Structure 1
Amino acid sequence: GNGFDIYDLYDLGEFDQKDGKATKWGTKEQLMDLMGAAKEKGVGVYWDAVLNHKAGADDKERCQVVEVDENGIEARISFPAVESSYRTKTISDPYEIEAWVKFDFLGRGDKHSKQKYRWYHFTGTDFDAATNRKAIFQVVGDNKGWSNSVDKEQGNADYMMFADLDYSHQEVIDDVKNWGTWIVKETGIKGFRLDAVQHFSERFTNEWVEHVREQCGKDIFCVGEFWVGDVKTMTEWLEKMGHKFSLFDAPLLYNFSNISKSENADLRKVFDNSLVQVEPVNAVTVVMNHDTQPGQTVATPVEGFFKPLAYSLILLRNNGYPCLFYGDLYGMRGNKDNDVPSEPPACGGKLADLTLVRKLYAYGDQEDYFNDANCIGFVRRGTWDKPNGCAVVMSNAKPGEIRMAVGREHKGECWTDVLGWEEKEVKIDDEGYGVFPCPGVSVSVYVKKDAEGRDRFPVDFDANIYKE
C-alpha cells in the first residue's frame, strides 16, 4: 500500500508482519538514517498521518450492523441539501456480519503499545466476509453511531473507507494520543499532515493536537488535508479548531487553474476568495500535489506557462506557508496505463531558483502593484538583516512593465532578473523607483545586480533523479 491502507501506526518497518518487515518505503533503520540526514541539513520532517481508519485486519469478528445509503440521490438533487439522506439514511434492520475488524499486531506484540482492536473500536466497515458483499455497514452497539463533529459531506462524512475508528471510545482516544507523542519522540519529526481531517472527529482532533503539543512542544506544526473549494467552510473549521491547524489553500489552487486556462484572465483576482486572503497564518499554499496532479482523484491542472507565475505568488509574498510539489521540482514520469503523459520539471527548470530567491531576498514589507488586469507586480522591501529585497513583475499576456518603488536607499543601483528571462537592466532613480519589465506570458524577479548571493544564480540543480 501507499500508507492510506494503514494497518499498524506503531510499525515503521520494524516488525515482521503482513508478509514482511519493510514498508513500501523501507525499513525503520532506513527511516532513521533519513531523519538523521535531514537534521544535519537543517530540514524538518512532517509526518503524513492517517488516523481515520485501519486496514488489513488480522482476523474477522461477528458484529451487529445496519446498512446505510451509499447513493444519496435525494441529498444530491435536493435544495437545500437533505442532511438526513445519504450516509445518515439507514436502509436495513440490524443484522450480523463477519467483519475484518480484529487487530492483534502479532509481529509487534506489545512493544510501543499494548492496545489491540476489536469490533467495538470501530463505527463502520465496508465488507461482509460471510456473504462476500460490499456495502457501507454502520456498527450497532451501546453509544455507537457516526461522529457528529465531522463535515456534512454526503450527509455525514465520518465513514470514508476500511474499518472506521470510533473516536468516542476511550481506548481509541488514549492509544492514538499515545502514538502522537511517541512518533515525535521516536523519530524527531517537527509536525504532521493529517489526512482527510473532515472525516473524523473534530473534538478528538482538537484534543489530540493539544496533547501532542503539551508533551512535545508548542511548535509542533499541523496541517489538515480538507480538500474543499469553499473558503467559508475552511474558515469555520479553523475556528472550531481554535486556529491550532493550517489547511491547504484549495481555493487558491482552483484560482490558479482557472486563470491558467482562461485567455487574458484578470490576474488581479488571483487571491479572491482564497484562504491565504482571509487566514494568512493558517494557509498552506500549493500549486499542485499528489491528489491534484494529472490522473488523480481531484486533478486540478495548472497550465505549464502559468506555473512560474503561481510559484512566484506563493514563494515570494509575505503571506501563506508555501509547499513545493516534488513532481514540479523533479518532473513526473507519467502513467501510460492511465494516459497520463510524463512532464519535465516545472517553471522551465527554475523552481529551485525561485526557492533560493525566497531564502535570500523575499523579506520585509510588501507593496502590491495590482493595477493592470494582465500585468501585476509586488516589491519586498527587505529587513535590517536581509536588506536587499526583490521586485517581481508578471504578465499572462503581452510583455509588460511596472514602475515600482524599492526604496531610496537603493538609488543608483542596477537591478537584474535573477531568472534570466528578461535581459534589460533596471536603474533605480533618486526617488527609489525603477521601471521593471517582463516578457509576455512570463515572470521576472529583480534583485540588485551585486547583492550578496547573486553568484548562486542560476542554481546548479540536478533534477535528474530518475537517471533517464
Structure 2
Amino acid sequence: MRRGVVLVLLSLLLFPTIVGAKEAATWEQERMYFIMVDRFVDGNPDNNDQVDKDDPKAFHGGDIRGVIEKLDYIESLGFTSIWLTPVFENMPDGYHGYWIKDFYEIDPQFGTKEDLQELVDEAHKRDMKVILDFVVNHVGPGHPWVEEKPDWFHDELPIVLWNDQEQVETHWLFDLPDFKTEDPEVKDYLIEAATYWIEETGIDGYRLDTVRHVDKPFWEDFVEAVRAVDPDFYLLAEVFDPNPQYVAEYDDLGFNSITNFTFYDRVAKTMAQKQANVDEIDVAASYAQTFFNDPNQMATFLDNHDVERFMHVAERGGAESAERRLRLGLFALYASPGMPIVFQGTENAQTGGADPANRDMTDFPGNEDLQAYVATMNRMRAEYPVFATGEQRMLASEDGMAVFERRNGDDVALYAINMNGEDREIQFEVSEVGEDTRLRGLLFSQLVTEKRGTFTIKLAGESANAYIVEESEVNMWTIGLLVIAIPIFLTGLVMWKRRCSAN
C-alpha cells in the first residue's frame, strides 16, 4: 500500500496533470478539408474535353487524379478527412457537380470509377476518410427525366416564400427539377444509388446537399437504409439557414452532423471585419449548446463554395491586416465547439467574392507560412482533444478581447482572442479554472501565473493564444517535497519499530 502511494506521487511529479490526454478519435475530432474537384488540381489533362479556363462557369480541369496527387499535401497540413463535391455524371457545364445526370456513373471530366476507388484506397492508407457530396433534392437543368418520368418531379413552380416550408420542399430551386422524394419509387431509386457507392467503393460518408428542401420522412428512411449497410457511415446534413432553432428541427433525424451556418453568420463574417465583436463567439456557442444535442458534432467553417471567401470580406476592411484576421478566424474555428471544415485555398489566403469568384483554381505551392499555421491548428486539435469534446463558456470579455474555457470533465483548456488593433489584457479569477494552477501558452511561449487570486492574460493587437492548465509551481514543489519526505518518513518509521522490537 505504501509503495503504491509513493509511485502515485512520483507519477504526479514526473507527469504533471496537463490537458490533452489522447483518446479514441470520434467524428467531432475530425479535421476536414473541402475540395471542389474541378477547381483543385488537374491530374489528368486527357479528360479535359469541356475545359475553358477563361469561362468562370465552365470546367477548369480539376479531377480525381489531381486529388490523389495531393493527398500527401493534405495529410501534411494535418487533415484527417476530405469532402469532395459530387463526382457523378453531370448535365453540360455542371463543373461544380451538383447538376447530376446519372447517379451511377462518374463524370468523365472527373475521371473513372477506378480513379475513385484508388482515391479511397490511398486515403485509407493514410488513415484519412473520404466524404462524397450526394444530392437527392434535384437533378441538373434540362434533364431528360423531366419528360420521360414526369411523375418523379414536382410541378415547376418557383420558391417565392422562403419561410414557407411546403414551398421550400416542393417547389423548384431555381431551374433545377425537384424530385418528388415522397414518392416510393423515387425514394427507392435515390436510396439504392446512395448505398451502391458505399458498397462499391468503401467511402466513409456523405455530405448531403440541400437537406432543408427535402421532406423529413425521406431523410429518416434514407438514414435507416444507409446505416443498415454501414452502421458507422458518416452523414453531414447541409441545412443552409443561420437560424439555430429552425436548423435544430433536423437534429433528431439521425445525421451525425449539421452545417453550422450560425457560426458562419455570427463568427466568421464578423471576424473578417476590423474591430470585430469577439462576444459573437460566445453567442454562437450558446446557441449551439442550447438547441443541439451535441454542439461539438456541428460542422463549422469560415467560408465555402456558396458564400464569399473570408479573405474577400477581410480585404474590404484593409488588405494590410486581412491575413491576420484570417489567422484569427482559423483560430476561432479550431478552438470553438464543432468539427472544423477548411475550404481548399483558405490555407493560401485565397480570395474571391460570390459564386463563381469564390471557386477559382487553388494556387500551389501557395502561402507556406499560412499553411504552417493551419498545420499548427490541426495539431492543436489532435494533441488536445478537449478543443473537440469540451463544453465552452466565456470567462471574461472586455474592449475587444475575450477568454474562453473548454472543459470536458477534468480536461480543461482556455483560449483568448484579442480582436482589438492595440495590445490588451484581461483578468479573471483563478477559481474559475481551478486553484493551484497556471496557464501555459500553446501557440507561443507564455506562462500565466496567479497573482492575488487572479489570472491576467496579455495579448498583442489582433492575436490569440490557447492555454493548457497545469499544476502551479508551488503545488509541484509541494508534491516534490512529499515524494522525498514520505519515503524518509516511512524508512524512519520502520527503523523505529525495529528498535522498539529489539528493546
Q: Shared topology, TM-score over 0.5?
A: yes
- 2:189 corresponds in structure 1 to 175
From 95, 98, 102, give the equivalent of 1:8: 102
Q: Sequence identity, in percent?
A: 21
From 219, 227, 238, give the equivalent of 1:225: 238
CA shift, 1:35, in A, is 0.5
Deviations 1:141-167 (A, max 9, x none): xxxxx9xxx962694442213332112
CA shift, 1:246, in A, is 2.9
1:250 pairs with 2:261: yes
Q: How many angstroms apart in 2 are the aligned matches of 1:295 and 1:444? A: 21
Q: How many angstroms apart in 2 are the aligned matches of 1:301 and 1:288? A: 12
- 1:133 corresponds in structure 2 to none
- 1:106 corresponds in structure 2 to none
Q: How many angstroms apart in 1 are the aligned matches of 2:340 and 2:310? A: 23
- 2:271 corresponds in structure 1 to 260
1:438 pairs with 2:455: no
Instruction: Determine helix, strand or coil for the equivalent of 1:176.
Output: helix
1:203 pairs with 2:203: no
Q: How many angstroms apart in 2 are the aligned matches of 1:8 and 1:233? A: 32
1:33 pairs with 2:98: no
Q: How many angstroms apart in 2 are the aligned matches of 1:233 and 1:306? A: 30
- 2:152 corresponds in structure 1 to 121
CA shift, 1:263, in A, is 5.2
Deviations 1:292-347 (A, max 9, x none): 13499xx9769643333333233224x32222222212443759997779997599
Deviations 1:102-140 (A, max 9, x none): 3xxxxxxxxxxxxxxx22222245xxxxxxxxxx49xxx
1:355 pairs with 2:367: no
Q: What code does the residue aligned with 2:341 have? A: C
TM-score normalised according to structure 2 size:
0.59
Deviations 1:74-97 (A, max 9, x none): xxxxxxxxxxxxxxxxxxxxxxxx
CA shift, 1:396, in A, is 0.8
1:401 pairs with 2:416: no
- 1:283 corresponds in structure 2 to 298
Structure with the bigger percentage of helix: 2
Over 3 Å counting, the alpha-carbon distance change for 1:338 and 1:380 in structure 2 is closer
Q: How many angstroms apart in 2 are the aligned matches of 1:448 and 1:236? A: 37
Q: How many angstroms apart in 1 are the aligned matches of 2:354 and 2:180? A: 40
Q: Would the aligned equivalents of 2:396 and 2:426 in 1 still touch at CA under 8 Å? A: no
Over 3 Å counting, the alpha-carbon distance change for 1:48 and 1:59 in structure 2 is closer
Relative contact order, CA 8 A, sep 6+: which one is greater? 2
- 2:331 corresponds in structure 1 to 312
The within-5 A match list for 1:3-152 is 3-12=97-106, 22=108, 24-55=109-140, 59=144, 100-102=146-148, 118-125=149-156, 136=157, 152=164
CA shift, 1:447, in A, is 5.1
Q: How many angstroms apart in 2 are the aligned matches of 1:119 and 1:101? A: 5
Q: Would the aligned equivalents of 1:361 and 1:382 in 2 still touch at CA under 8 Å? A: no
Q: Would the aligned equivalents of 1:7 and 1:57 in 2 still touch at CA under 8 Å? A: no
CA shift, 1:39, in A, is 0.8
CA shift, 1:283, in A, is 2.2
- 1:457 corresponds in structure 2 to none
Deviations 1:209-236 (A, max 9, x none): 122112321x322222221122222123
Q: How many angstroms apart in 2 are the aligned matches of 1:124 and 1:266? A: 45
TM-score normalised according to structure 1 size:
0.63
Deviations 1:216-266 (A, max 9, x none): 21x32222222112222212343xx44535321112211125533665443
Over 3 Å counting, the alpha-carbon distance change for 1:194 and 1:346 in structure 2 is farther
Gaps of 5+ in 2: 1-93, 316-321, 471-503
Larger radius of gyration: 2
Instruction: Determine helix, strand or coil for the equivalent of 1:46.
Output: strand
From 320, 330, 344, give the equivalent of 1:326: 344
Q: Would the aligned equivalents of 1:401 and 1:438 in 2 still touch at CA under 8 Å? A: yes
Q: What code does the residue aligned with 1:44 have? A: K
Instruction: Determine helix, strand or coil for the equivalent of 1:445.
Output: strand
Matched residue pairs, number?
Answer: 350
